[in-house]
Amino acid sequence: MTPTENPAFRTVVGIMAACASIDSWMRAHLADKGADIILPGMTEVLVLVDVLRSRVSVPLIDSNLAYAEHAVGADPIIAMLATCKRLEANGPNAVVIPCNTAHAFVSSIQRQLDISIVNMLSEVIAFAREKMPEVSRLGLLATAGTITSRVYHSTAEAAGMTLLVPDASVQARVMESICGADGVKAGFNSGACSSHLAAAIAHLRDQGAQAVILGCTEQPLIELDAETR
């Protein structure tokens, strides 16, 4: 879906692929140039949102969610495929993509490769099936993009398992634990991010989850007490 087809978004006049070193002046400059929406090119940029909020008068869009919904910005498949092709040319036996959100595009990329992509999601579900055969209801804590893409849902359902996800308010806390000012991507692994993650795990357990997948690469770095784990 293009921005003009999606009433939830105004036309994107300026989109900037950014890294965490981009400062607030650069963001304000884009708005001054007439950008209606700014789409950071890396999830890590979202840790700057609190700083930028006072300087930028236009929305900052979570790129994980935007890419997974195909709502805003270019489809990343071309860039991902090009990278996989370069890896393939070096003669590996397989390609590993250690990003849960990126798995929304793995099936499209795999068709263009002569070597296999190790599907992290399939491996997680297979591990749960083998090590915890009594578990049929799995909880998932991940980025909004991963959940929206439903790639974990289809993998779990194919294995005969039910996948549970947080409600909107708890999902907001999950995103805070990952991308917030005190989140794991900002370099924290205790404090607020631990509280958010522990609350989300408790929420899924209350829904009936027998085990919980930490479905974002950095989440296992967050400290949790023994009882929560």
Catalytic residues: 99, 216
Q: How far is CA 148 from the centre of its chain?
A: 9
Rg (CA), the chain: 19
With CA atoms as reference, report the closest residue to 207 among 146, 163, 145: 163
With a CB cutoff of 8 Å and minimum separation 6, the contacts of 170 are: 199, 200, 203
Residue type, 202: A
Helix 192-207 and helix 168-179, axial crossing angle in degrees, nearest 10: 150
